[in-house]
């Protein structure tokens, strides 16, 4: 079929008056070739294929998904497109809104968007509007038959979404609840005349496009980490030299932090380029200054274009440099000064107003040396939205949908809904158990495949619960093994003291032990793997170690301590791979067990209202 299509393209006239073209085009569509594939095969712009199809009246029809080949009448409103003869969709003239979901779940794009899409659907239905969901992922709640009024199991591409829009003629399309996939469709859809509800596609583009976003930052007098672009290694070395190491390098064409790396020196930058740079001048490598030991802040806002509601300001437990999707975070803030909070709130509001956000927006800040840097702005629902909604009792996507339908923040008054008086920790669930041989270090590339939420009356309790939820059973006593890289050594005595005061015996490799001893901490030395037997790996296997704190940054140190981390994982020894994580763990272990108890979300909310 593919060869036939290719040959046809070479030998034939591509005009709608060519009857032969109609035949092969219909056949190609029946076989499932997308407009884009055909455009590539025939070396024409994508829009041409769509235009030809429309001119020749080749459009999909929508059939119901049922369980037995139409033998029995189906009542579930699931539809799929097909280039066939029948018509199973009954046209209606109700008010309709299309919600675009996130498509297949993958690392970086998970169930959070499912939550948002569900609440968008509920809000639409409660407003008497037919909620039409488009998502190709049957594993989600938003694709349950009773979540929306109609469901299209279709890919989230321009072609498929437009086909549905032409069938359904909705009054608007919601793109900000399905993550990056539907967000990327906002501009093409708008150009095709589709009404995008909420934040305008132009504003979305201003936040998404690197250069346009820099202009926004400049205009508002805000701060970004120093950065640059490079298409080859020479240019990269120059940029890195200019902004000074360490830097974060990433290809501009990937999302979710794939192939993203923290680079500490020239040698590592050379290695990075050797591994990651394909010969693609169109896709330069982005180089940003890496803010070491900065505190990372995630902010979710809800805005109606004028007013801004700061839904949640979360503090990451791991420092900047760990992908935000892999970092635990806590709400309310723990260690950020009131002055910083004020500046964060101000900048968030300024950004929301400048971009005329109607709906949700997420901003990532980093605080380093009293400076507030903006790392990223996403004018859409972020992965923390479900967490913030539950931790504050304010249903953000539900309210955002109402804003898109014309309500104002003033009318909705989220401030009055807000609950507090407790602490919530979001912890990530990492899938390392399922991938033998993979290093468990966290970095700029996202690894987590799930998350849990711990609630408590204070941070220690909330963090302890989150660790239990994520599958880390924290010990109460025993030996704790410490091995940290040189950059983390200044923070070592504090961590050592915390564990020592909790009654743990300290165990460390030579270098780490020396630092601890210097600070008058009692510590036993353990052999490294190459120093003979019994070494630290043997001790882990023999269950002599209750907890591992092992940090490494930079490719070389990472490789050295890999055996330790893998063994800890294999033998189910709890571990921390960052200093911040180790501190939080010590705090959690110190939480008084007898005060830790289980309560429902409703009980937390109710107690707060009474109090």
Partner 1 sequence: MKALLTLEDGFSLYGKSFTGAFETGGEVIFTTAMTGYQEVLTDPSYCGQMVCMTWPLIGNYGVSAEDMESDRVHLRALLVKECCKQPSNWRSESSLPEFLQRFDTPGMEGIDTRALTRHLRMHGAMCGCISTKELNPHVLRERALALPPMQGQNLVPFVAPQHPYAWRNGKPAKTQFSANGKYLWQGAGLRLIVYDFGLKWNILRQLVVAGFEPLIVPPGFSVDAAKASGAQAVFLSNGPGDPATLTEGIVAIRMLIKIFPVTGICLGHQLIGHALGGDTDKLRFGHHGCNHPVQDLATGRIEISSQNHGFHVVLRDAPDVEATHVNLNDQTIEGLRHTTLPVMSVQYHPEAAAGPHDGRYLFARFHEMISAAISA
Tokens of 518: 């210097």
Residue from 13, 57, 73, 594 touching partner 1 (CB under 8 A): that is 73
Q: Minimum distance from CB of 25 to partner 1 (Å)?
A: 16
Quote the least distance from Cβ 5 to partner 1, whole Å: 17
Binding segment (CB under 8 A) for partner 1, from list 78-86, 106-114, 238-246, 333-341: 78-86
Nearest to 419 by CA among 538, 521, 311: 311
* Of the candidate residues 11, 45, 57, 72, the single one contacting partner 1 (CB under 8 A): 72
Which residues, 6 or more positions from 343, have their beta carbon under 8 angstroms from its beta carbon? 372
Give the whole-angstrom CA distance, residue 317 versus residue 470: 15
Shortest distance, CB of residue 556 to partner 1, whole angstroms?
51
Neighbours of 562 (CB within 10 A): 18
Confirm or reject binding of residue 70 to partner 1 (CB under 8 A).
yes
Shortest Cβ distance from residue 73 to partner 1 (Å)? Answer: 7
The owner of tokens 């921390």 is: 576
Nearest partner of 361 among 406, 403, 405, 413, judged by Cα: 403
Q: Which is nearer to partner 1, 69 or 533 (CB)?
A: 69
Closest CB to partner 1 among residues 72, 530: 72
What CA–CA distances, in Å, run from 465 to 164, 470, 474, 591? 44, 9, 10, 10
Residue 86 interacting with partner 1 (CB under 8 A): yes
Tell me: does residue 19 bind partner 1 (CB under 8 A).
no
- Within 8 A by CB and 6+ apart from 344, the residues are 297, 299, 313, 336, 365, 372
Closer to partner 1 by CB, 26 or 106: give it: 26
Helix and strand numbers (H, E) in the chain are: 25, 23
Q: Taking contact as CB under 8 A, which single stretch among the options 2-10, 65-73, 339-347, 554-562 is the one that binds partner 1?
A: 65-73
3-state secondary structure 115-159: HHHHHHHHHHHHCCCEEEEECCCCCCCCCCCCCCCEEECCCCCHH
Told to check if 68 binds partner 1 by CB under 8 A, we report: yes
Per DSSP bridges, beta strands 150-152 and 227-230 are: unpaired
Site stretch for partner 1 (CB under 8 A), options 80-88, 214-222, 278-286, 424-432: 80-88
Considering only residues 44 to 63 of the shown chain, the ones binding partner 1 according to CB under 8 A are 63
**Closest distance between partner 1 and the C-beta of residue 30, in Å?**
9
Q: How far is the CB of 134 from partner 1 (least distance, A)?
A: 22
- Given the rule CB under 8 A, which of 83-91, 397-405, 435-443, 552-560 is the region that contacts partner 1? 83-91
Q: Which stretch binds partner 1 (CB under 8 A): 49-57, 82-90, 247-255, 412-420?
A: 82-90
Is the separation of the CB atoms in 250 and 269 below 8 Å?
Answer: no
32 lies in the site for partner 1, by CB under 8 A: no
Binding of residue 71 to partner 1 (CB under 8 A): yes
Residue 76 beta carbon to partner 1: minimum distance, rounded to whole angstroms: 16
Let me know how long the chain is.
611
Q: Which of 547, 577, 557 is nearest to 486 (CA)?
A: 557
- Smaller CB separation from partner 1, 85 or 600: 85
153 counts as binding partner 1 under rule CB under 8 A: no
Binding residues for partner 1, per CB under 8 A? Answer: 63, 68-73, 84-86, 88
């Amino acid at each position: 079929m593919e060869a036939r299509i290719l040959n046809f393209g070479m030998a034939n006239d591509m005009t709608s008056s060519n009857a032969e073209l109609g035949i092969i085009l219909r056949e190609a569509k029946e076989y499932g070739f997308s407009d884009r594939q055909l455009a590539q095969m025939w070396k024409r712009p994508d829009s041409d294929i769509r235009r030809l199809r429309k001119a020749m009246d080749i459009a999909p029809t929508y059939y119901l998904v049922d369980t037995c080949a139409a033998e029995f009448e189906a009542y579930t409103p699931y539809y799929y497109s097909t280039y066939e003869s029948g018509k199973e969709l009954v046209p209606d003239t109700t008010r309709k809104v299309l919600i675009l979901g996130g498509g297949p779940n993958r690392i970086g794009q998970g169930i959070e968007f499912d939550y948002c899409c569900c609440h968008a659907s509920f809000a639409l239905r409660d407003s008497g509007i037919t909620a039409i969901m488009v998502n190709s992922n049957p594993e989600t709640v938003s694709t349950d038959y009773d979540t929306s009024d109609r469901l299209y199991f279709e890919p989230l591409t321009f072609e498929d979404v437009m086909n549905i829009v032409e069938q359904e003629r909705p009054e608007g399309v919601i793109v900000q609840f399905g993550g990056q996939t539907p967000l990327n469709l906002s501009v093409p859809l708008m150009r095709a005349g589709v009404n995008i509800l909420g934040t305008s596609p132009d504003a979305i583009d201003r936040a998404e496009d690197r250069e346009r976003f820099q202009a926004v930052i400049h205009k508002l007098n805000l701060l970004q980490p120093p950065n640059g672009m490079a298409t080859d290694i020479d240019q990269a070395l120059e940029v890195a030299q200019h902004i000074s190491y360490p830097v974060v390098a990433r290809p501009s064409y990937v999302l979710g932090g794939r192939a993203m790396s923290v680079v500490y020196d020239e040698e590592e930058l050379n290695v990075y380029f050797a591994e990651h740079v394909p010969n693609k001048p169109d896709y330069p490598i982005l180089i940003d200054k890496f803010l070491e030991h900065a505190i990372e802040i995630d902010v979710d806002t809800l805005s109606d274009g004028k007013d801004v509601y700061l839904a949640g300001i979360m503090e990451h437990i791991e420092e900047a440099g760990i992908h935000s999707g892999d970092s635990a975070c806590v709400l309310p803030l723990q260690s950020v000064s009131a002055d910083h909070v004020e500046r964060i709130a101000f900048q968030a509001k300024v950004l929301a107003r400048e971009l005329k956000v109607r709906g949700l927006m997420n901003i990532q800040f980093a605080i380093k040396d009293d400076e507030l840097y903006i790392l990223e702005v996403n004018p859409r629902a972020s992965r923390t939205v479900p967490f913030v909604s539950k931790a504050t009792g304010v249903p953000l996507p539900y309210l955002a949908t109402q804003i898109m339908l014309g309500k104002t923040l003033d009318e909705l008054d989220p401030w009055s809904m807000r609950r507090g008086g407790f602490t919530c920790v979001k912890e990530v669930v990492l899938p390392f158990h399922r991938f033998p041989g993979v290093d468990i270090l966290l970095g700029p590339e996202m690894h987590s495949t799930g998350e849990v939420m711990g609630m408590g009356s204070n941070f220690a309790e909330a963090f302890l619960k989150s660790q239990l939820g994520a599958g880390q059973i924290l010990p109460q006593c025993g030996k704790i093994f410490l091995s940290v890289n040189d950059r983390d050594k200044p923070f070592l005595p504090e961590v050592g003291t915390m564990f020592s005061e909790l009654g743990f015996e300290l165990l460390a490799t030579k270098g780490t032990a020396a630092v601890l001893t210097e600070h008058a901490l009692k510590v036993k030395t353990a052999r490294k793997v190459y120093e003979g037997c019994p070494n630290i790996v043997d001790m882990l296997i023999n269950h002599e170690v209750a907890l591992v704190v092992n940090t490494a940054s930079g490719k070389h140190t990472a490789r050295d301590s890999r055996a330790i981390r893998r063994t800890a994982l294999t033998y189910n020894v709890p571990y921390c791979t960052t200093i911040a994580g180790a501190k939080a763990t010590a705090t959690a272990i110190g939480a008084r067990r007898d005060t830790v108890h289980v309560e429902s979300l409703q009980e937390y909310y109710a107690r707060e209202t009474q109090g």
